[in-house]
Structure formats: C-alpha cells, structure tokens
Amino acid sequence: MVGASEAISRGRQARKEGNLAAAREHYAVATTIYREQNDILACAHTIRHIADIYRQEGNPAEAMPLYEEALELYRGNLATSILDLANAIRPYALLQEEQGSLDSAGRLWEEARNLYRSLRIDEGVSECDAHIARLQQS
C-alpha cells in the first residue's frame, strides 16, 4: 500500500500533467491515511487541494463542502499556521465570489487580507484588496 507522502507526490504529478481525476484519487488516498492517523492538519491541507481541483474543473458543488471542512479543521486546531489558514480561505473566497455569494466572499477576502498582512505577504494583501474593491463596486 502506498503511503500518504507518496500519494501526495503522485497527486501533484498528476495535477501537473493535467490529469485532475487521477490527482483527486491520489489526494483522496492521502486523506484517508491522514484521517486514520488523526493528522488533522495534513488532512485539512489535502482536502483543500481536492477542493481546489474540483473548483478548477468547474464543479463548485463538490468543492464547497470540502473547503468548508478544511476550514473547520484548520480553525479548530491551535497548531494551524496562519499561512495555511489564509491559503485555505483564499480559494474559498474565490468560489464564493464565482457563485455570487458576494457578502460571504467579501468577509472571506477581508479575513484572508488580515492574515496575509500579519505575515507581511504583500502579494496576498494586494490580491485580497483587488477582490474587495471589485466587490464594493458590485
């Protein structure tokens, strides 16, 4: 049986090659292993990547609950890094925006901006600011 690290590696490679279905399958294997090991943060990170793939494929119905689960896991764990949380909020904000949930998207962009700002990640702050400005014009 393949380990979680190998499954993640295979998932990254499949995604790089454009084989999103295979990438999802490899990430799902890793998620199962992380759940069995009770590695909450690795599980959250992997779930977020699966959600990203669904979003990339234009399948918001599959992505939405995965982003929500990843955020719940991150927010419920005191060991969560600020960067991991910000990087999980960002694509969920994009999805909310794409789905027309502009109030929710705005709150998420604000939260991500504050997290990126606390880390002094100017690129992240700028992206969030651009989305917030666009939402305010809507």
Confidence at residue 138, expressed as pLDDT on a 0 to 100 scale: 81
Tokens of 96: 């909310």
For the chain, give the percent of residues with pLDDT over 90. 98
Q: Which CATH superfamily is domain 1-80 in?
A: Tetratricopeptide repeat domain (1.25.40.10)
> 69-115 pLDDT, tens per residue?
999 999 999 999 999 999 999 999 999 999 999 999 999 999 999 99
Q: For the chain, which residues make up each domain, given as ranges?
A: 1-80, 82-138
Q: How confident is the model at residue 126 (pLDDT cuts 50, 70, 90)?
A: very high
For the cut 80, the answer to whether the pLDDT of residue 50 exceeds it is: yes
Pair 128, 116: CB distance under 8 Å? yes
* CA 135 vs CA 86, 97, 114, 131: distances in Å: 19, 8, 17, 6
Tokens of 110: 């604000």
Dist. CA 128–CA 73, nearest whole Å: 23
Pair 60, 28: CB distance under 8 Å? no
> 23-47 pLDDT, tens per residue?
999 999 999 999 999 999 999 999 9
Query: Considering the chain, what is the average pLDDT of its residues?
Result: 97
> 10-27 pLDDT, tens per residue?
999 999 999 999 999 999
Dist. CA 41–CA 73, nearest whole Å: 7
How many Å is the maximal CA-CA distance in the chain? 52
